[in-house]
Each structure stands twice: as structure tokens, then as C-alpha cells.
Amino acid sequence: MKCRFCGKKAYIKLHHPKMYLCREHFMEYFERKVKRTIEKYRLLGKGERILVAVSGGKDSAVVSYVLKKLGYDIECLHINLGIGEYSAKSEEYTKKQSEMINSKLHIVRIKELLGAGIGELKTSRPTCSYCGITKRYIFNKFAHDNSFDVIVTGHNLDDEASFIFSNIMNWNTQYLAKQGPLLPGEGKFVKKVKPLYEVTEREVVAYALAVGIDYMLEECPYSRGATTLSYKEILNQMEEKRPGTKMNFVKGYLRKRYLFEQEVEKRELKECEVCGMPSSGEICSFCRVWRLKKPVELEVKEVKR
């Protein structure tokens, strides 16, 4: 098949909207879609200090690459989770990716910071649960302590659709109330944005291959059997039968999100007695899980305050 615009051999067939594109026109399409998402939801402003959360995988690598290509000045942060060979490989990929786009890379190693890696901590919480708490806390505190204005993550349309689907199936209204492409900053919470919000996982993979991004293919060993993967598979089957299902589902959620916001009581946040970061209780989840007695130090000394 041939490209819709130039007649060259097609690189990809898009299902929604339905069309064939060559490599060059697909890259233009993808980058324009990300740019429009940023503008549509007002994700990034001029002069903001941008921190991209990178894992070594395709999504964070692609969002970093595209933001640099669009002219944004970014820095990257990788959290080495201390999961043996998997984390060692992930860190190496983030180094190669940041070198490719000439972006500054900060690395926080959990074992050095907290004395144990993910999977080694003795706790009643599931591994994925306290891993999520740990990553969210470190990304936010690093951004706050080093005066970044916004945190960028690589969540794509498939991620968002499966997350919404999962939480609707379990009626987790507290999560449904604050999902979306932009989570505004408040107090010590730094603004979080998702520029890949309207591009599919398949498009992200195709873009990474088109521009030559080398990325980590292995999944985290603790993610095997996760229910979110089952929800993704269900949505993929629905998308195959009716292209555009995921986009319509996510856009419909955004239109009705206010219904969940009304149901959730806004809790008054306190300052954690250990670290001083926002908390619903006397001690925040991060300090409680890791049994900390003093705050972790995440300020980079050469960053101008």
C-alpha cells in the first residue's frame, strides 16, 4: 500500500483515522498529534522547568525525544528500583536515550537511598503497591526540591483506557476523580502531565522504530499477571472490532469526570511529621512503608535555587 500524502511505500496502516502513511509522514503525524495534545490541554507553558520521568522503556523515551524535537528544554529522572539485572539494564537504556537527545539525566538508586530494593522490603503491601508509592513520591519530591515546575510521564492512550476501565470495574471513585492528561500542582505537589495522552501504544512503538530509539523490551518481573494487562487485552479486542473505541472511551470519561469529583470528599492535607511532604495522616505513605525517621535527601546541589 502507498502513503496517503506522497505515494511512497507505506510504513504503517493507522486504524483510527484509517489511512496509510510513509515513515516521514507518520513521524510528522505523530509529532503534530503530541503538539496538539499539549496545546489542547495546556500541558506545558513557556519558561517552565520540565522534568521527564524515564524508565528505559519506549513511552518515556519517545516523549523525551518528541519534547526535545518540539523545542522544550527538559531534564530526565530515572529511578533505579534495585530489581537485579532488570534495573541495571533499565538504567543503561536511560543513559543511551538521554545521550541520544542530549538531555541531562538524574538517577536515584533505591538501594543507595533506602537500603533495600523493590521486592526486598518486608511489608504486608503487595510489591507493585509500594513500588508505585515509592516512584510517585520520589518523582514529586525530586521535582519539588529542585524547583521543577512540571513532571512529564509517558502514559499513552492504552495506559489511560486500561486504568479508567480497571477503576470503573472496581468503582475506585477516588482515582477516577483525578485521572486525566493534567494533574494541576498544589502546594508541594508538582504539576503532572501526559503529552502522549491521545496516541496509542502501537503508534508509540512505530515512532520509536522510525526514529531509531533503542528501548527496554523486558517487563518488570513483578508485573507478570497484573490485572491491568488483562484489561488492556480486552480493550485491544474491542478496538480491533471497532477502531476508535479507546479514544471514545477516554474522551467520554473526561466529559463525565465531574461526576466522580462530586462523590469524593476533598481531604485536608497535613505535612508529614517525618519529611514535611503532603499527607492525609500524621505520616505519609512513603515514610510509613519505608519506616523512615528522617526525610530522604533529593536536592541536586548544582541546581540553582
As a whole number of angstroms, the longest Cα–Cα distance in the chain is 64
How many CB atoms within 10 Å of residue 142?
22
Judge contact between 191 and 184, C-beta under 8 A.
yes
128 is in an annotated binding site: no
149 is in an annotated binding site: no
Q: How far apart are CA 100 and CA 108, in angstroms?
A: 20
Cα 228–190–273 angle (5° rounding)? 95
Task: Compute the radius of gyration of the chain from its Cα atoms.
Answer: 20
Q: How far apart are CA 289 and CA 299, in angstroms?
A: 22
**Helix 201-211, helix 58-69: angle, nearest 10:** 60
Sign of CA dihedral 131, 136, 178, 247: negative
Burial pattern 265-304, b for ≥16 Cβ within 10 A else e, equals eeeebeebebbebbbeeebbbbbbbbebeeebebeeeeee
The three grid cell numbers given for residue 56, joined into one nine-digit string: 528505559
The three grid cell numbers given for residue 105, joined into one nine-digit string: 539525566
131 is in an annotated binding site: no
Beta bridge partners of 165: none
The three grid cell numbers given for residue 228, joined into one nine-digit string: 491491568
55 is in an annotated binding site: yes
185 is in an annotated binding site: no
Residue 43: closest CA among 16, 72, 79, 17: 72
76 is in an annotated binding site: no
CB proximity list for 92: less than 8 A, separation 6 or greater = 56
Judge contact between 54 and 98, C-beta under 8 A.
yes
284 is in an annotated binding site: yes
Q: Which residue ranges are tagged as binding site for ATP?
A: 53-55, 59, 79, 154, 159
Q: Which residue ranges are tagged as binding site for Zn(2+)?
A: 3, 6, 22, 25, 272, 275, 284, 287
Q: Which residue ranges are tagged as binding site?
A: 3, 6, 22, 25, 53-55, 59, 79, 154, 159, 272, 275, 284, 287
